[in-house]
Amino acid sequence: MSDAIDFSDVQGLLRFGYKHHTESAFALLRVRNRAAARAWLASTPVATAAINSGPLPPTALQVAFSAEGLRELGLSPQVLSEFAPEFVAGLGTDPNRSRRLGDVGSNDPAHWQWGGPAAEQVPHVLVMAYALPGHLNRYAFELESHWGVAFELMRWLQTSDMGGVEPFGFTDGVSQPEIDWSRTIAAEDKDRLAYGNLACLGEFLLGYPNEYGRYTARPLLDPVGTAAALLPRAEDAPDRADLGRNGSYLVLRTLRQDVPGFWRFLDAQAGGDAAERRRLAESMVGRRMDGQPLVPPAASTIAGVGTEAKARARNGFTFDDDAAGLRCPVGAHIRRANPRNADLPVDTQGLISRAVRMLGLDSAVLHADAVASVRFHRVLRRGREYGERLSPAQALTMAPSAETGLQFICLCADLARQFEFVQGAWIAGTKFAALPHEGDPLLGNRLPAPDEPDTARFTMPREGCPSRVITGMPQFVDVVGGAYFFLPGLRALRYLATA
Amino acid sequence: MVLAEVRPGHEQPLRDVLAQMNSGPGQADPGNRLLPFGRFESLHFARFAILDDTTHADLAAHGVTPAALPTYLAFFGDCDGPAEAQLDEFVRVAQGGLLEVFTHCVDCPAGSALAAWLRARNLPVAAAYANWTGRTARRVREERAIAEALGRRVQALGTTGSGQLQAVRQQLVDFVAAERREGRLLVTPDPPTPAGWQLRNLGNIIAIPLIGLVALPFLLLYSPLFVWQLRRRELADPEIVPAPDVDHVAELATFEDRGVTNAFTALGSVKPGRFRRNLVTVLVALLDYAARHVYGRGHLTRVQTIHFARWVFIDDKQRLLFASNYDGILESYMDDFINKVAWGLNLVFSNGVGYPRTKWLVAEGARNSQAFKNYLRRHQVANSVWYKASAGLTAMDLARHTRIREGLERSTMSDRDIEDWLRSM
């Protein structure tokens, strides 16, 4: 069953960040002519996860579809309905989803630049163009020249190379789950008693066992005598063709960052002290600006982090020894996004301890057990910055010449359990890990919930005295666009273009 | 829990009346004209739900023709003291409003007979869980006021030097004492627990293990047969876990995430046959025992986000209703179920028609996470009206407030404990 993965059927983005391809732009397209759109999709080379010897290709292209796009391309409603319901409904179309994800107030999809609730706002196809320095302009021009009949170009989402630093000035994308490409993790449902960074293939690629040892639902088709015959067979249903296999869901959100607002607020809190200003910012993020975490590396090695000193220093840590958040505040951004814990509270050893903790009878660890089992809630991030970068010092005195932010991109196999859970429960949630009432210090929308007057706070626990609570936090990040996409495997892409 | 049969054809007018109690989708206005929930001092939560059973037909998968069952209006809440007393108070304060609601139910009397009529429809709760046994609604309000006052006070203090922790605590203790003298903060002593309740509780503590002890030899004799009966059914029982209807989910979601706490109501049929019926009866009784005597100090097994939960058999144990008040979004509630206490859910709910296949009563089942989520959503019923007294507070907030108040009352505290205590403010 555990067949080796066919990298040539996987889009490259799942395996690579295309870090050498520092230039990139993402085209949002709407289908104008189905036949022409299909013809373009069938003939356009898409970069795969296979590693080729030789020099890097100057450009790489990835293609993903919204549910609306699949419909436009002619996928039957029946098959479409077998995709994840979140994908079928879309990111910006359902007020209940928006409320859950914190996309309210100035984040409300009604104000979005793209992806909002109006039908014409939703892109059908996402074309991601990556290029080595100096190659993007010509490449984008060339792509556009082929689209005329097939697509209407809604907009290009531009990106800029900030050298691995996001607009606030922090090294970004430091922590990523390590995907178990060689399928070393057995497909079984077993408690993990230690935090690990190695994630089952099925957490990110459809068609493989996930962390529960099960296959996430996706469209399975009848292969007999139809175009579906070219699709891979489903591992869990060998008589069915697997439209999901080697594909993934892609979340794209345009996050506008108020860099002057961020640094000016912190400067005021720090009374103009540059070092203190920086310290506050680092507490909110949970890492130093250079990417070093605020807690020391764990004594034991963490699976999936690697043994290299730099990787261990940056990612080989948990918050087990900092339960109170004295080093890294409990509400810090990286702690919310990945609380780094196991299925049972730390130091669960032996059958008795396990039984006691399973029954919730060890009161000493209950508080830390409010949040558990992060392995079911990981996402693979592939975002890119856009706009002009300002240093903290510049941000105090000038405004950027153009809008600045992050094209947030993440990949996962289960939108509800992974992206929506992390965004809804941990980032937008104002009660994360039993904190009294505060949202994410960077991404929080600061809006009072109907029954919570004030969430514009950030709590920094301190040794030997009460926590410092920063109040009156403005909103630093606005969501200004977004959509859910399906990033198909290569054979699935061919199926979508021909069936 | 009051369960009243809805008069045929009156479902829509009933929904319309219930909607008049709300200030937002499904969210009760505490001062609404019909039943002003905010006026009842001992009330924590309350809700009205029309029990539309959309999954009753699943019984056909067991080769059973589903009996025609009426649509009920369920009216229930969580209060201090006996439910009957709360019902009587509801009628005393809001008889007119309640009549406007229950007039859409079969045999609703006119005027003052309502109280007795409601009492007669008050079903026994098969299992009940309270996050903190004995913490009254009044205590919750008083502790909140203390915690908020101390929170402001502590922020005004700023940093404290080392070695000052004892002095800081004394200052805060004195502050609260002064505020209490001025009547701005209250710590009302709990009314004495009625002796009858104490006695019944003690009886319950002893009785269940005693029954178990007496039955043990018989259970041991029966166990091989039980294992055979169980496994035979577990392997054969149909799993009914299609994706829930999109419109049904959309309706449920409309009522959710309007505040930090949500209300969950679900209804399902017990699998046909004596075996499942007896098994679920015993397991729910044991669950009730654990919820009463083992938990009730801030957590039900590992789950700390449930304020109150109840399991009620209806229609002569043909169906089981589960209702809870939980913190956070449904996805995180379901994931707590799956990741922290799947075994516990399996024990009870695997006796329900269509539940994801279990193994040995505790394994698999809910761990089949997507199937379980589908099952749960399919069986969920929308609440027409839901009221929560402690607005904006999670169960963990309430526990934190209790610890803050207890910290004031302790005669001594170590520096270490004072640090934790201050940080919790």
**Is A192 in the B-facing interface, judged by CB distances under 8 Å?**
no
Residues of chain A above pLDDT 70, percent: 99
CA B87 to CA B114: how far, in whole Å? Answer: 10
DSSP code per residue over A106-142 = GG-GGG-SBS-SSGGGS-SEEEEEEESTT-HHHHHHH
Q: For B18-59, how does the pLDDT look when each residue is reduced to its tens digit (9 = 90+)? A: 999 999 999 999 999 999 999 999 999 999 999 999 899 999
Indicate if the pLDDT at residue A2 is higher than 70.
Answer: no
Residue at A340 is within a domain: no
Q: Which of B357, B118, B67, B127 has the alpha carbon at shortest distance from B240?
A: B357
Q: What value does the mean pLDDT take over residues B365-380?
A: 97
Q: Residue A416 is nearest to which of B160, B168, B331, comparing CB atoms?
A: B331
Other CB atoms within a 10 A radius of the CB of residue B156 amount to 8
Q: What is the pLDDT of residues A93-108, one digit of tens each?
A: 999 999 999 999 999 9
Instruction: Give contacts of B373 with chain A, Cβ < 8 Å.
Output: 416
DSSP, residue by residue, A211-232: TTSSBPP--EE--TTSGGGGSP
- In three-state secondary structure terms, A30 is strand
Is B298's CB within 8 Å of A361's CB?
no
pLDDT (tens digit per residue) in A255-311:
999 999 999 999 999 999 999 999 999 999 999 999 999 999 998 899 999 888 889
Calculate how close chain A gets to B4, using CA atoms only, in Å: 31
Considering only the beta carbons, identify the residue of A217, A372, A469 that sits closest to B370.
Answer: A217
What is the band of A349 on the pLDDT scale with cuts at 50, 70, 90? Answer: confident
What residue ranges in B153-305 does DSSP mark as E strands?
Answer: 261-269
Residue type, A55: P
Q: Which residue of A has its CA nearest to B251?
A: A96
What ipTM does this complex have? Answer: 0.96
Six-digit token string for B3: 């369960």
In angstroms, the CA A161 to CA A241 distance is 40
SS3 call for A385: strand
Nearest CA-CA partner of A134 in A81, A59, A188, A37: A59
Compute chain B's Rg from CA coordinates.
Answer: 24
| Cβ within 8 Å, pair B327-A431 | yes
Of A188, A211, A189, A191, give the one whose Cα is nearest residue A351. A191
Token code pair at residue B147: 């915690």
Q: How far apart are CA A344 and CA A365, in angstroms?
A: 10
Task: State what percent of residues in chain B have pLDDT above 90.
Answer: 92
Sign of CA dihedral B287, B290, B293, B296: negative
The answer, yes or no, to whether residue A58 has pLDDT greater than 50, is: yes
Q: Is A269 on the interface with B (CB under 8 A)?
A: no
**Over residues A188-217, mean pLDDT:** 97
Site of tokens 């810090």: A332
**Is A378 part of the contact surface with chain B (CB cutoff 8 Å)?**
no
Asked whether residue A98 is domain-assigned, the answer is yes
A366 in contact with B, Cβ within 8 Å: yes
Instruction: Give which of B372, B249, B265, B367 is closest to A86, Cα–Cα.
Output: B249
The answer to whether residue A260 is domain-embedded is: no
B329·A372 Cβ contact <8 A = no
Locate A218 and state its tokens: 């996706």
Report which of B248, B249, B277 is spatially closest to residue B353, judged by C-alpha positions. B277
Of B300, B298, B297, whose CA–CA distance to B287 is shortest? B300
Quote the tokens at residue B52: 């539309």
Residue B272 in tokens: 């046909």
Beta strands A178-179 and A198-199, pairing class: parallel
Closest chain A C-alpha to B337 CA, distance in angstroms: 12
Nearest by CB to A100, from B257, B396, B422: name it: B257
Amino acid of residue B275: F
Residue-level length of chain A: 499
Question: Does A452 contact B260 at a Cβ distance shorter than 8 Å?
Answer: yes
Residue A165 lies in a domain: yes
In this prediction, residue A123 has a pLDDT band, given cuts at 50, 70 and 90, of very high
Confidence of residue A454 (pLDDT cuts 50, 70, 90): confident
At residue A305, the pLDDT reads 94
Closest C-alpha among B399, B306, A420 to residue A429: A420
Q: pLDDT tier at A400 (50, 70, 90 boundaries)?
A: confident
* pLDDT band (50, 70, 90) for residue A450: low
pLDDT mean over A219-224? 94
Residue B409, exposed/middle/buried by CB under 10 A (0-12, 13-18, 19+)? exposed
Measure CB to CB from residue A451 to each of B260, B328, B422 and give the nearest one: B260
Cβ-Cβ contacts under 8 Å, A451 against chain B: 259-260, 388, 391-392
Q: Which residues of B touch A329 (CB under 8 A)?
A: none
- Answer yes or no: are the C-beta atoms of B298 and B399 closer than 8 Å: yes
Q: Which of A174 and B355 is assigned the larger pLDDT?
A: B355
Residue A351 resides in a domain: no
Tell whether A170 lies on the interface with B, counting CB pairs under 8 A.
Answer: no
Tens digit of each residue's pLDDT (9 = 90 or more) over A368-381: 999 999 999 999 99
Q: Give the model confidence (pLDDT) of A301-318 as tens digits.
A: 999 998 888 899 999 999
Would you state the structure tokens that stand for residue B106, as one six-digit string?
């079969």
* Residue A434, domain member (yes or no): no
Kindly tell me if the per-residue pLDDT of A499 is higher than 80.
Answer: no
Residue in A217, A361, A431 closest to B328 by CB: A431
Yes or no, beta carbons of A450 and B328 under 8 Å apart = no
Comparing CB atoms, the residue among B329, B339, B400 nearest residue A424 is B329
Pairwise CB contact (< 8 Å): A431 & B303? no
Enumerate residues 105 to 124 of chain B having a beta carbon within 8 A of any beta carbon in chain A: none
Instruction: Summarize the confidence of residues B387-394 as an average pLDDT.
Output: 95
Q: Is the pLDDT of residue A1 over 50?
A: no
Give the β-pairing of A151-158 and A198-199.
unpaired
Q: 3-class SS at B28?
A: strand
pLDDT per position as a tens digit, B221-278: 999 999 999 999 999 999 999 999 999 999 999 999 999 999 999 999 999 999 999 9
Say if the Cβ atoms of A453 and B243 lie within 8 Å. Answer: no
Report if residue A50 sits inside a domain. Answer: yes
Residue A160 covered by a domain = yes
Domain that holds residue A18: 7-252+482-498
* Number of structural domains in chain A: 1
Q: Per the confidence metrics, is the pTM higher than 0.95?
A: yes
Listed in order, strand segments (DSSP E) in A404-493 are 405-412, 458-462, 465-470, 477-487
Measured CA distances, A22 to A26, A131, A134, A389 (Å): 13, 7, 9, 15
